[in-house]
Amino acid sequence: MAAKKTANDKTAKDEIANKPAAKRAEAQPCPSVEVEESLDESDASIPDDLDDDVDDGVLGAASDATAMLLARTVGKTVAELGDDLASGKKSLAAQSARVLDEIVDTNPDAVVQIIDRYCAVIGSPARRPAQSAAKALPLMARIAPARVARHLPKLKASYTNATQPGKDGLVRTFAGLCTASVAYQKRLEDVLNEALGEADAKTLIVWTQVVLPALKGEPHARARATVEGRLGRIPKVHAQKIADFLGIKLRLRYR
């Protein structure tokens, strides 16, 4: 049987070899054809009027992969993506959040125009939009503090019911405003003290390092007192890190 199979294989090879060049090409597989066809299909799905459908600022800011996603599946401007983020539709908001996060990474100035949408979702129970807002708003507080400050009543009111990522973003946003101008300290001192007073031990370490350097004068002193007052009620390992940051010694009962 093996000898018969070998003979058949040799006959098939001889037949291919004796065919003209064009016929031999048809008889043999050509992987490159499949690749070319795949590329052609991919190119065909990209609209010819790409520049008309997608905001130039978006394409310039996003990574190549995200810009392609935007062009092929969304095709919307930053303002429209902001509307989708605040739409309340889970999948649409998640997709928009992904693209907007890429834009924030490369060109945060591009999303200044949708600060109001970020402010609307940072206190939302929907985690993905809140996470996107928590990433963007602390940067916006430094780039365009006045535009963020217009929404302070809403932002402060949203703190209590925000998710943990949302609360973290709000605290960083408030600290960013205080860094931008001491004029915001009076309006934000109460909510920052609330945050420092309720944070778990690990979060308190981070927020202490974010909030205290942003405050000056009496607001700084009161926030520091809030933190120091909690050192006796949190685990020693965390309290020691905060004490080291503050440059103080823990009380004797910790030793």
CA 57 to chain centre: 18
**For the purposes of burial, counting CB atoms within 10 Å of the CB of 167, is it exposed (0-12), middle (13-18) or buried (19 or more)?**
buried
What pLDDT score does 251 carry?
Answer: 74
Query: Is the whole-model pTM more than 0.85?
Result: no
**8-32 per-position pLDDT tens digit:** 454 444 554 454 444 444 444 433 3
CA distances from 108 to 77, 118, 147 (A): 15, 13, 14
What pLDDT score does 22 carry?
Answer: 42
| Max CA distance (Å), the chain | 98
- The residue ranges of the chain whose pLDDT is under 70 are 1-75, 252-255
DSSP string covering 102-139, please?
HHHHH-GGGGGGGHHHHHHHTT-S-HHHHHHHHHHHHH
**For the purposes of burial, counting CB atoms within 10 Å of the CB of 41, is it exposed (0-12), middle (13-18) or buried (19 or more)?**
exposed
What pLDDT score does 254 carry?
Answer: 44
**81-114 per-position pLDDT tens digit:** 999 999 999 999 999 999 999 999 999 999 999 9
What pLDDT score does 250 carry?
Answer: 87
What pLDDT score does 64 carry?
Answer: 54
* Residue 16 host element (H or E): helix 2-18
The answer to whether 228 and 236 are in contact (CB under 8 A) is no
Map out the domains of the chain as residue ranges. Answer: 50-149, 181-255
Q: Report how far residue 124's alpha carbon sits from residue 81's, in angstroms, rounded to the nearest whole number.
A: 17
* Residue 182 host element (H or E): none
